[in-house]
């Protein structure tokens, strides 16, 4: 029998305050197979995955045994002196928030070529490095064109940054891959294509550890699944045996209210936006109206301009043309908005890590919103913030830590709580459930629906069309920075008129058919 490439035995992890993050995890990874690690946000998935590289969060202590190939990475007394030797060429890691892993000062083509040169076969020269970097881009669903290679990370959407980071990982040619939520921020079309590429990659030999809340991706890719809850393994087996059935969608619509004089609460008129200069616009003449209590959904392929639209409405993107109106009054850029305008329009970021100060506790930063924008005393603000965080499954002990000590899902919930605590009139939500398991996402959705009963308007940006059917009254589909289609959500998704919408729906249907085809076809070999 072939010896496993990676063996994890009785892995434990403790935070600086003594809290157990991981409790006795056993895990085996074999070349050519995909193992999925699933579980609620904060269950210890990322802590377990980082241990394979001999890494841990700030103040986290590891114990147990982790072996990669012939190298002991974690021993009884923690991370070993040999751990650094497995990173990159043996085990490569794609983080959940790729924007933090990309060098903001360098073009992606130069970085990819350097990485490929370090790992290309000896004697291949520059040509071999370029070929390896181009192949990595193609596997990551990005065209290996000069216009793409010359971009800086900030010139990509969140979903595109995810693919750039994946290309850098693949350019290492690793024997094992750790993929932390690789489908986050991707539209249904790109996610389906990426799933097919990862399946081909798995068949070519590397062992893959997949951390994901996307049960469709887990079912399509994984040979084995391990379920974590509160740091413990609670189930293991095939994905079909351990994953719960998807909940039936519940439709909630029709709460939008017109202003007494017919003026929408928030309106964008002929909005255009660019990054460097006019003529290279990323938004082209986009308009929308948002009424009190209404939810307008925005969907479209990665890079279609959804996040740029959200940042324009939040006042964070100043290179724009057109008008943004709140109650019919022009709304300036964020730096020029008064306290009440800032309170009334709140934005929950897609990349939440960048929106938190790493030196202050999460509770303090969430509470600060109520102090600054609602004028509450610090004690009352802290009490409200703690109660809201606890409602979203972030207990007091976790909230008292700095952002770096929280999981991606916990920090995403904290970002939502921070915005909701302002009691806004308009809430712009950019992929706010992408890092959440189904149960935790349901808590957030319940609170969104509660906010709508208080006449808060919601702009919901997302790729999950099943979820869009639940939350959105009307839907705007963007493609290439232009409005491809707009109208009532049910009509757009049931009788689409644009090719962009049909592509999204076709990809969703393909994913659904793959799930219903199981368990007759299982594991990485099922996807062609």
The Cα 54–Cα 67 span in angstroms is 10
Task: List beta partners, residue 232.
Answer: 229
Rounded to an integer, what distance in angstroms lies between the CA atom of residue 73 and that of residue 380?
46
Give the C-alpha distances (Å, rounded to integers) separating 387 from 308, 356, 393, 394: 32, 19, 10, 9
Q: Is the dihedral of CA 46, 50, 51, 52 positive or negative?
A: positive
pLDDT at residue 519, as a whole number: 42
- Centre a 10 Å sphere on the Cβ of residue 520 and count the other Cβ atoms it contains: 8
The answer to whether the CB of 363 falls within 8 A of the CB of 389 is: yes
Q: Domains plus CATH for the chain?
A: 6-242 (3.40.50.300), 266-358+410-516 (3.40.50.300)
What pLDDT does residue 233 have?
95
Nearest 5°: phi and psi at 96?
-65, -35
Per-residue pLDDT of the chain (528 residues; tens, 9 = 90+): 567 899 999 999 998 888 899 999 999 999 999 999 998 888 899 999 999 999 998 889 999 999 999 899 999 888 988 888 887 678 988 887 776 778 888 999 889 988 888 876 655 567 778 888 888 888 888 888 888 888 988 888 777 888 898 888 888 888 899 998 887 767 777 777 778 878 888 888 889 999 988 888 898 889 999 999 989 999 999 998 998 775 554 444 444 444 445 679 999 999 999 987 777 799 999 999 999 999 999 999 888 999 999 999 999 999 999 999 999 999 999 999 999 999 999 999 877 887 899 999 999 999 999 999 999 999 999 999 999 999 998 999 999 999 988 888 899 999 999 999 999 999 999 988 877 777 888 888 999 999 999 999 999 999 888 889 989 999 999 999 999 999 999 999 999 999 999 999 988 887 666 555 544 333 443 332
Report d(CA 492, CA 508) in Å as an integer: 14
Angle (nearest 5°) at CA 511 between 161 and 236: 85
DSSP-assigned letter for residue 3: P
**Which pLDDT does position 517 carry in this prediction?**
53
- Residue 65's DSSP bridge partners are 9
Tell me how far apart the alpha carbons of residues 402 and 473 are, in angstroms, rounded to a whole number: 37
Task: Please tell me the pTM assigned to this model.
Answer: 0.71
Helix axis angle for 188-203 and 499-517, nearest 10°, is 40
Which whole-number Å values give the CA distances from 186 to 68, 146, 395, 473, 514, in the listed order? 31, 22, 30, 22, 18
């Amino acid at each position: 029998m072939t010896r496993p490439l990676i063996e994890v035995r009785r892995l434990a992890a403790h935070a600086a305050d003594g809290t157990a993050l991981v409790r006795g995890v056993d895990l085996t990874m074999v070349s050519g197979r995909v193992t999925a690690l699933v579980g609620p946000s904060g269950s210890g998935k990322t802590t377990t995955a980082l241990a394979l590289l001999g890494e841990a969060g700030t103040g986290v202590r590891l114990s147990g045994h982790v072996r990669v190939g012939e190298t002991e990475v974690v021993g009884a007394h923690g991370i070993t002196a040999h751990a650094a030797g497995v990173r990159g060429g043996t085990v490569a890691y794609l983080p959940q928030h790729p924007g933090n892993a990309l060098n903001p000062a360098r073009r992606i083509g130069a970085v990819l070529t350097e990485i490929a040169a370090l790992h290309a076969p000896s004697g291949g020269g520059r040509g071999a490095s370029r070929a390896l970097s181009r192949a990595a881009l193609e596997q990551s669903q990005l065209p290996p064109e000069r216009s793409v290679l010359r971009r800086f990370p900030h010139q990509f959407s969140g979903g595109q940054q995810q693919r750039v980071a994946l290309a850098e990982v693949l350019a290492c040619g690793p024997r094992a891959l750790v993929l932390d939520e690789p489908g986050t921020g991707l539209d249904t079309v790109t996610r389906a294509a990426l799933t097919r590429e990862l399946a081909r990659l798995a068949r070519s030999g590397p062992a893959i550890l997949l951390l994901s809340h996307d049960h469709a991706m887990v079912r399509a890719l994984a040979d084995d699944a391990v379920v974590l809850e509160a740091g413990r393994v609670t189930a293991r087996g095939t994905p079909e045996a351990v994953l719960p059935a998807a909940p039936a969608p519940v439709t909630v619509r029709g709460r939008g209210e017109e202003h007494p004089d017919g003026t929408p609460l928030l309106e964008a008129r002929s909005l255009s936006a660019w990054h460097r200069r006019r003529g290279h616009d990323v938004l082209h003449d986009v308009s929308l109206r948002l009424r009190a209590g209404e939810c307008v959904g925005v969907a479209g392929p990665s890079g279609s301009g959804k996040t740029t639209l959200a940042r324009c409405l939040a006042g964070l993107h100043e290179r724009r043309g057109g008008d943004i109106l709140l109650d019919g009054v022009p709304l300036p850029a964020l730096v020029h908005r008064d306290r009440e305008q800032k309170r009334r329009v709140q934005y929950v970021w897609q990349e939440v890590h960048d929106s938190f100060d790493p030196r202050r506790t999460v509770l303090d930063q969430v509470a600060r919103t109520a102090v600054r924008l609602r004028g509450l005393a610090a004690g009352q603000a802290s009490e409200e913030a703690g109660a809201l965080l606890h409602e979203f499954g972030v207990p007091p002990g976790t909230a008292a830590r700095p952002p770096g000590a929280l999981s991606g899902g916990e920090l995403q919930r904290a970002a939502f709580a921070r915005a909701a605590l302002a009691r806004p009139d308009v809430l712009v939500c950019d992929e706010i459930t992408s890092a959440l398991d189904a149960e935790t996402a349901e808590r957030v959705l319940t609170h969104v629906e509660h906010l709508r009963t208080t006449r808060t308007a919601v702009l919901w940006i997302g790729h999950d069309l099943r979820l869009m059917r639940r939350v959105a009254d009307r839907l705007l589909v963007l493609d290439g920075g232009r409005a491809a289609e707009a109208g009532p959500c049910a009509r757009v998704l049931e009788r689409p008129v644009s090719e962009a919408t049909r592509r999204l729906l076709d990809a969703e249907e393909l994913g659904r058919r793959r799930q219903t085809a199981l368990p007759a076809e299982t594991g990485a070999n099922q996807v062609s």
